[in-house]
């Protein structure tokens, strides 16, 4: 593939608003996970909540979209000059030539959960104020972003659980490669809701403490929320030190609805496909941001896949101990973390992990490393065996 230029990027998670907060928390190895009261959750667990979301007011002309998910989207869009970059691109390319491709696992489902408490006692009807189309509908967040930024190109939302907002990079790559668009806003938005907290709890996948990826005592995930946006465009004029999307690898396990293939076959295929698309050898990769959910089986399977492709020397870590598992937003949040690693010559050590599992053999970082790298890989592996690996590069002189 022809690499794509990463024009601008931003993320907002439990670590804070925008890149400065995120980088500061990564450097300090600070976790955003806390045992805290949220909504009606009555479980012993820790959450990665974005502070202040309930106080966010949507722009006056966007009130129909009001829900937690779209408030998070607006908050993130306004960080790091992202909206200004989108408007500059729109003036350059034309508003019809910019696509919007986003990932989300549950969209604004919390709005429907809350509306169900207000059903008409006789008819059971939801309150008239509840707008499913603008909040809960899976397309809602792309519809919101498209209108918020006044863009008129193609738009869609991918919902393949934890790989959702990684797979959108592939859509942008194909659409730009075919000449259908010149630039794309990609990313992911997923906010806290009762469905995911209680759903993962029913699967016995939630830890009652901050998650511990790749630790010998890991016992499940911590749910987080987050949003990330990246503006991609052709890299014809890329300059030294610019950041690039250089490879996208996708695969399907075709094995089980919720469990990964026990030998990590699908994960391995996705990583190798990203390398092949970029024309890179495994030894050139300087850092891998693992999917690293902290469930016993997922981490073991990912370790098999990583060591099969890269051996045991490539530095890697999971940043879900920092942010929690942001589900449909995780692919893009962790893509932004890879971009920060490339820009700042910095490899984040995993938070929450105390004693790496001796049965796992990848080179898991417990502490930060200051190290110049040229290529970084980000893994996202979702329910149903939906896998996506993204390769990012820094253009060197």
3-state secondary structure string, the chain?
Answer: CCCEEEEEEEEEECCEEHHHHHHHHHHHCCCCCECCCCCCCCCCCCEECCCCHHHCCCCHHHHHHCCHHHHHHHHHHCCCCHHHHHHHHHHHHCHHHEEEEEECCCCCHHHHHHHHCCCCCCCCCCCCCCCCCCCCCCCHHHHHHHHHCCCCCCEEEECCHHHHHHHHHHHHHHHHHCCCCCEEEEEEEECCCHHHHHHHHHCCCECCCCCCCCECCCCCECEECEEEEEEEEECCCCCCCCEEEEEEEEEECCCCCCCCCCCCHHHHHHHHHHHHHHCCCHHHCCEEECCCCCCHHHHHHHHHHHHHHHCCCCEEECCHHHHCECHHHHHHHHHHHHHHHHHHCEECCCCCCCCECCCCCCEECCCCEECCCCEEEEEEEEHHHEEEEEEEEECCC
Question: Percentage of residues in the chain with pLDDT exceeding 90?
Answer: 94
What is the reported pLDDT for 257?
Answer: 78
pLDDT in tens, 33-60: 999 899 999 999 999 999 999 999 999 9
What is the reported pLDDT for 397?
Answer: 84
What is the reported pLDDT for 142?
Answer: 98
Q: In the predicted model, what is the mean pLDDT of the chain?
A: 96
Predicted confidence (pLDDT) at residue 64 exceeds the cutoff of 80: yes
pLDDT bin (cut points 50, 70, 90) of residue 307 is very high
Neighbours of 395 (CB within 10 A): 17
* Total domains in the fold of the chain: 1
Q: What is the mean pLDDT of residues 387-393?
A: 98
pLDDT in tens, 338-366: 999 999 999 999 999 999 999 999 999 99
pLDDT bin (cut points 50, 70, 90) of residue 28 is very high
What is the reported pLDDT for 287?
Answer: 98
Question: Percentage of residues in the chain with pLDDT exceeding 70?
Answer: 100
pLDDT bin (cut points 50, 70, 90) of residue 384 is confident
Do residues 378 and 168 lie in contact, with contact meaning Cβ atoms separated by under 8 Å?
A: no
What is the reported pLDDT for 155?
Answer: 98
Please state, in angstroms and rounded to a whole number, the distance separating the CA atoms of residues 55 and 35.
21
The size of the chain, in residues, is 397
The active-site residue, picked from 130, 136, 261, 325, is 325
pTM: 0.97
Strands 386-394 and 243-252: antiparallel
Annotated catalytic residue 325: yes
Q: Where in the sequence is the domain holding 175, given as residue range(s)?
A: 4-395
pLDDT in tens, 129-168: 999 999 999 999 999 999 999 999 999 999 999 999 999 9
The active-site residue, picked from 130, 134, 136, 291, is 291
- Closest residue by Cα to residue 78 from 229, 190, 198: 229
First to last CA, the chain: 21
Annotated catalytic residue 322: no
- Closest residue by Cα to residue 213 from 105, 304, 325: 325
Annotated catalytic residue 256: no
Predicted confidence (pLDDT) at residue 31 exceeds the cutoff of 90: yes
Tell me the β-bridge partners of 73: none
Neighbours of 226 (CB within 10 A): 32
The b/e string for 346-364 (b: 16+ C-beta within 10 A; e otherwise) is bbbbbbbbeebbeebebbb
pLDDT in tens, 213-268: 999 999 999 999 999 999 999 999 899 999 999 999 999 988 887 788 888 899 99
Q: What is the CATH number of the domain that holds 139?
A: 3.40.47.10
Tell me the β-bridge partners of 34: 47
């Amino acid at each position: 593939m022809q690499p794509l230029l990463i024009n601008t990027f931003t993320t907002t998670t439990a670590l804070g608003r925008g890149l400065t907060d995120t980088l500061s928390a990564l450097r300090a190895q600070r976790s955003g996970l806390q045992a805290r009261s949220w909504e009606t959750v009555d479980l012993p667990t820790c959450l990665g909540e974005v502070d202040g979301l309930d106080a966010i007011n949507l722009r006056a002309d966007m009130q129909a979209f009001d829900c937690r998910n779209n408030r998070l989207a607006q908050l993130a869009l306004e960080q790091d000059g992202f909206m200004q970059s989108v408007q500059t691109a729109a003036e350059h390319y034309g508003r019809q030539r910019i696509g919007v491709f986003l990932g989300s696992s549950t969209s604004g489902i919390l709005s429907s959960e809350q509306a169900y408490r207000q059903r008409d006692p006789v008819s059971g009807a939801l309150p008239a104020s509840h707008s499913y189309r603008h909040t809960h509908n899976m397309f809602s967040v792309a519809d919101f972003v498209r209108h918020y930024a006044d863009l008129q190109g193609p738009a869609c939302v991918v919902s393949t659980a934890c790989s959702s907002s990684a797979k959108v990079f592939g859509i942008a790559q194909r659409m730009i490669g075919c000449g259908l668009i010149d630039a794309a806003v990609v990313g992911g938005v997923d906010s806290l809701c009762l469905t995911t907290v209680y759903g993962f709890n029913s699967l016995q996948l939630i830890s009652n403490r901050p998650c511990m990826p790749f630790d010998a005592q890991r016992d499940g995930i911590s749910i987080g929320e987050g949003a990330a946006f990246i503006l991609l465009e052709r890299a014809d004029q890329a300059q030294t030190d610019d950041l690039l999307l250089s490879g996208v690898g996708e695969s399907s396990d075709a094995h089980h609805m919720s469990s990964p293939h026990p030998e990590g076959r699908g994960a391995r295929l996705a990583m190798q496909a990203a390398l092949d698309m970029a024309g890179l050898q495994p030894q050139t990769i300087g850092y891998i941001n693992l999917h690293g959910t902290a469930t016993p089986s997922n981490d073991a399977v990912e370790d098999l896949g990583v060591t099969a492709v890269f051996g045991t020397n490539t530095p890697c870590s999971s940043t879900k101990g920092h942010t929690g598992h942001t589900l449909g937003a995780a692919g893009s949040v962790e893509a932004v973390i890879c971009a920060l690693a490339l820009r700042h010559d910095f490899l984040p050590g995993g938070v929450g992990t105390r004693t790496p599992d001796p049965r796992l053999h990848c080179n898991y970082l417990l502490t930060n490393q200051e190290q110049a790298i040229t290529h970084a890989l980000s893994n996202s592996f979702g329910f149903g065996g939906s896998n996506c690996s993204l390769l990012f590069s820094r253009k060197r002189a």
